[in-house]
Structure 1
Amino acid sequence: MNPDPIADPFDLTGRRALVTGATQGIGTDIARTLAGAGCDLVLTARDREGLAALARSVRADHGVRVEVVPADLADAAETEALAASALAAFDGLDVLVNNAGISVPQRVVDVDATTWDLVLAVNLRAPALLGSRIGRAMAQAGRGSIVNVSSVAGSLALAEHFSYCASKAALIMATKVLALELGPSGVRANCVSPTVVMTEMGQRVWGEEAKAAPLVARIPLGHFARPADVSHAVLFLAADASAMVNGVDLKIDGGFSVA
C-alpha cells in the first residue's frame, strides 16, 4: 500500500535547518527560501553583524524562529562547537545545508600548503564534520536531510582551481557515503552542483560580457545560474518532495556538464 499523499510536499513548517555561509550570495537566498517555506533557521557565518541583520530581516519577512551562531569553519574546534550549538538551538535539526565555501585561485605549480589546507578545511572538512555530528542526531531522531553545495568544478577540471576542484569533488563523494550510511536511519544526503551563479561576486568576476561569453557559449540554456536556481533545488532536496532522492549530485548548470 502506498503511503498517504503529502498535502504540500514543499512545506517545511515546523522543520529546523542549519545554513552555513548564510550572509552572502547563495547562502542568503537559501535561508530566505527555506524560511519562506516555514522553516525555522540557525544561521552561521563569520560576519556577526551580517548574521544579526539577516536574522532580523528573515524574522520580519517570514515570521519564523531564527538563531545565529557565528563560526569560522576553517577551525575544526569551532565547527564542532557549531554542530552542538545548532542542535541545541531548537532541540534538534531536520535539515543541514552545507553552503559555506571558499576559492583561492592558484596555478598547480604555485600551490602552497597553507592555501591548500584552508580550502580543504572549509570546503570539505567542515561539511564532513557537520554531516557526521548533525547526521548522527538526525539518525537518532529517524529523519533528516543533508544538502551539500558542491560545484560543477567537482566533476570538471577548472584551471587555476586545484584545491577548489579537489575539495568539491571530494564533497560529492562524501555526500554519497553519508547517503549510504545514514539512509537506513531515515536520513537523506544529496548535493547540488551549480555552474557560475550571478551573485554579487559572480557579477564582479563574470559580469564583463567579453569574459563571460566563451563560458556562456558552452551552456546549452545560454546563461549563468541565478541564486534562486540553487535555492529552489535546495528546497526540493530538503523537503518531502524529494523523499526518495538520496545520494544524488544534482547539476544546476543549464546542461554545461553534458555539452
Structure 2
Amino acid sequence: MNATIPDLTGKIAVVTGATGGMGQFIAADLVRAGAHMVTVARDPARADALRARIGSPAASRLDVIAGDLSRRADIVAAAKTIVDRYDQIHILINNAGAHFSEHRVSADGIEMHIALDYLAAYGLTTLLDVPLRRGHARVVNVASDTLNDTRQIKLAGKPRPATLDLSGIGDLADLNPAAGFAPFEAYARAKLMTVTAGYALARDLAADGVTINALHPGIVATDIIDDLVPPLLRPVGTLIRRGMLTPAEGATSATRLATDPEIAALTGRYFNRDKESTTPPVSHDLTTQQRLLILSKAHFAC
C-alpha cells in the first residue's frame, strides 16, 4: 500500500488504462489502500497480469469489464455495466491514452487520438453522471503538457501551444484530418480537448460535490514515449528513458490528486505533477467549451 493514500475501504474507484504503463500502478495502489477497483480492458490477458501485480487477496476487489475504449458502443456498454453494478463511484481516473504515429480512424470514423485520448474520458464521465454525483466523486483526467507546447525538440524558440478551432466544425470526425496530419500535434489537441471539456463539466458537477481536475504526471517512461521521441533522438532513446520518471513515480501524482484530503475541494484545475499550472487560453474560452460539449454529446447520441 502507498503510505500517502488514505484508507479507501468501501470506496469504488474506476480507472481506465489500468492494464499497462502507469495505470497498473495507479490501480494497484488504490486496491491495496482498500478500494474496490473497476477497469475496462480490451485484452483479458493483460487484466490477469494486473491481478498478479496486485496480489491476493486484494485482487478479489478488481472488477474487469471487457471493452475497447476507442469505440463508442464499448464505452456506452461499459458505462451501463458499471451503473448497473455500482450505486456510487467515489474515484474516476481517466488514464487510458495512446499516441499514434500514423493517421488512423476508429470504428466510428473518429481520428484515434480524439477517440481514445478524449472521447473515452468524456464519455465515461458523462455516462457515469448519476453514480459520480451520488459518490461525490473525485475525477482525474490524465493529460499531457504537450498541450502547452507541441514542439518535440525544445532547444530554442517560444512554446507552441496546441490549437482547438471549432468554428465550422460540425462533427468530431472533422478534427485531426488526414490532410496535413501531424501526430504529435494531434495527440496534444486531444489532451487539450480533455482539459477544455473538463473545465466545463467541473462547473456542472460542482453542486453535487464532484470535482474534476486534470494532470500532467511528468515525463513518464511508458510505451507512449517510444512514439513521442523524435526520430533524430531515437538512437539515444535508452538514455532518454533513464532520465524520466518510472511509471510508479508518475502514478503517485494521479493517486494524490484523487485521494489527498487536503485538496479534496479543488476542482476545475490543471496540475503539472503536484504543482497547479496553466493551460492555453482557448481551454478557458466559454464558447469553445460549450461547442465542444455539444459536439461530444452528439457523438454519443448517434
TM-score, with structure 1 as normaliser:
0.79
Change in 2 beyond 3 A, CA 1:23/1:95 = same
Q: Name the structure 1 match of 2:283.
A: none
Change in 2 beyond 3 A, CA 1:70/1:138 = same
Structure 2: runs of 5 or more not aligned: 153-182, 279-302
Please say if 1:243 is aligned against 2:239.
no
State the distance in 2 between where 1:103 and 1:116 align. Answer: 14
Question: Aligned AA for 1:83?
Answer: A
Change in 2 beyond 3 A, CA 1:90/1:112 = closer
Change in 2 beyond 3 A, CA 1:180/1:11 = same
Q: CA deviation at 1:123?
A: 0.9
State the distance in 2 between where 1:112 and 1:27 align. Answer: 24
Structure 1: runs of 5 or more not aligned: 1-7, 217-221
Q: CA deviation at 1:167?
A: 0.0
Q: Name the structure 1 match of 2:14.
A: 18
Please say if 1:210 is aligned against 2:231.
no
Question: Aligned AA for 1:194?
Answer: P
| 80-89 vs 144-153, greater mean Cα deviation | 80-89
**SS of equivalent residue, structure 1 residue 245:** coil
Question: Aligned AA for 1:210?
Answer: V
Among residues 195, 199, 217, which one is paired with 1:194 in the alignment?
Answer: 217
Q: CA deviation at 1:57?
A: 4.4
Question: Aligned AA for 2:126?
Answer: S
8 Å contact kept, 2:99–2:224: no
State the distance in 2 between where 1:203 and 1:74 align. Answer: 21
Question: Aligned AA for 2:115?
Answer: A
Deviations 1:58-108 (A, max 9, x none): 2516365111101111111110111121233343321111111111125xx
Question: Aligned AA for 2:118?
Answer: L
Identity of aligned residues (%): 26
Please say if 1:69 is aligned against 2:65.
yes
8 Å contact kept, 2:86–2:131: no
Deviations 1:196-250 (A, max 9, x none): 311356479769683577x79xxxxx93222223321222222234212211211
Q: How many residues align?
A: 240
Deviations 1:111-153 (A, max 9, x none): 57669612201111111010111133222x1511111111111
TM-score, with structure 2 as normaliser:
0.69
Q: Name the structure 2 match of 1:103.
A: 99
Change in 2 beyond 3 A, CA 1:64/1:230 = farther
**SS of equivalent residue, structure 1 residue 60:** coil
Change in 2 beyond 3 A, CA 1:97/1:162 = same
**SS of equivalent residue, structure 2 residue 63:** strand
RMSD: 3.3
**SS of equivalent residue, structure 1 residue 162:** helix
Please say if 1:79 is aligned against 2:105.
no
Q: CA deviation at 1:164?
A: 0.5
State the distance in 1 between where 2:118 and 2:27 align. Answer: 21
